[in-house]
Structure 1
Amino acid sequence: MLKDLLKRDVIELKVECKDWKEAIRKGTQNLIDKGFIEESYTEAIFESFKENGPYMVIGPGIVLAHARPEDGVNQLCMSLTTLKEGINFGNKTNDPVKLIITFGAIDNKSHLEALSQLMELFMNDNDINKIISSTTKDDVLDIIYKYSK
């Protein structure tokens, strides 16, 4: 479930970044620090952007940063990072980005329930805007719990 992955210790709010690469690094760093992913996973995300463009910018202001399980995922994980100022990722339709969800899957199936709940959240602009403007992790967790059924 979403609430099992997005816990207090993987949420960072109002982070300052100078560019999209630093924003991705902020989203991956606490997952690296916990041993959930390897540094190579961050590099694989960069490589995917280089090869495929900003397709990970999946909605207005939202990036779902991810790579392949074999790129350095040690366990199913997710982090949530909001940015103090929006950052352009090169997606004319959905820039600037203010919310980064970093996602690490270990296989093709174990993450589907949490991803489905996350997509339901992404479809609610009101709740997304509340997350982006939140100043406390408790406020963010209240919204996450709403989608963890």
Structure 2
Amino acid sequence: MKFKQSLIDNHSVLLNATAADWRDAIKLGTDMLIASGAVEPRYHEAIISSIEKMGPYIVIAPQFAMPHARPENGVNRTAFALVTLTTPVKFDGEDEPVDVLVTLAGSTSDEHMEGLMEVTQVLEDENSDTGINLDKLRVCTSREEVFSVIDKALAQPA
């Protein structure tokens, strides 16, 4: 599984989007994966339901969320979607609003963990207070710029 290749194959990059709230922001990502056939519509419903039950477990760093649910909730193949927002959205119980979302649909638990690690590798920045650097994605205005950021990050020694 490769983050960049999935974004290309699924046409799942949406930059500087607008969302009314966190539910709308998640839908932007899952809609792209539904359109590509990577997930079924029930995958989106499973993510929303899980957040309503367990809280915003998908907010894994300040201003960054990784919407996901279990593979059996409609994942047809492992895929990613990237959404950046012009105006951040608040999740109940979180202090920091979110403006970068990477939706992950892992077809198995192993694929899910591999995907999480790859996205983390792209975003990590040991010089940042939070350990990640979202600005490198926030400034992107095209899919090509996103792909360049990913290529540069993955070319670095881990």
Q: Which segment is superposed worse, 139-148 or 112-121? A: 112-121
Opposite residue 136 of structure 2, the aligned amino acid is K
Alignment-derived partner of residue 145 in structure 1: 151
Q: Give the Å deviation of 1:91.
A: 4.1
Structure 1 residues 107 and 145, CA gap change in structure 2 (3 angstroms): same
Equivalences for residues 81-120 of structure 1 within 5 A? 81-93=83-95, 95-120=96-121
Q: Aligned equivalents of 2:72 and 2:79: distance in 1?
A: 14
Query: CA-atom RMSD, angstroms?
Result: 1.8
Instruction: Return the letter of the residue paired with 2:12.
Output: V
Find the partner of 2:31 among 29, 33, 44: 29
SS at match of 1:109: helix
Gaps of 5+ in 2: none
Could you tell me which residue of structure 1 aligns to residue 139 of structure 2? Answer: 133
Cα distance in 2 between the residues matched to 1:114 and 1:4: 12
- CA contact under 8 A between 1:57 and 1:91: conserved in structure 2? no
How far apart are 1:112 and its partner, in Å? 3.5
Structure 1 residue 121: Cα displacement: 2.5
Aligned residues: 148
Q: CA deviation at 1:132?
A: 1.4
Cα displacement (A) at 1:138: 1.3
TM-score (normalizing by structure 2):
0.85
Q: Give yes or no for contact 2:39–2:77 (8 Å, CA) kept in 1.
A: yes
Question: How far off is 1:67 after superposition?
Answer: 0.3
Query: C-alpha offsets along residues 88-144 of structure 1, whole Å, 9 cap, x if unaligned?
Result: 012434x21001111101111134433212112232257421201221221111111
Alpha-carbon distance in 2 for matches of 1:145, 1:48: 32
Q: Give unmatched runs, 5+ long, in structure 1.
A: none
What is the match of residue 74 of structure 1?
76
Structure with larger RCO (C-alpha < 8 A, sep 6+): 1
CA distance in 2, matches of 1:61, 1:67: 20
Provide the identity percentage: 32
Alpha-carbon contact 2:75-2:106 (below 8 Å) kept: yes
Q: List 4+ stretches of structure 1 deviating above 4 A.
A: none
**Normalising by structure 1, what TM-score?**
0.90
Q: For residue 49 of structure 1, what is the aligned residue in structure 2?
A: 51
Residue 6 (structure 1) aligns with: 7
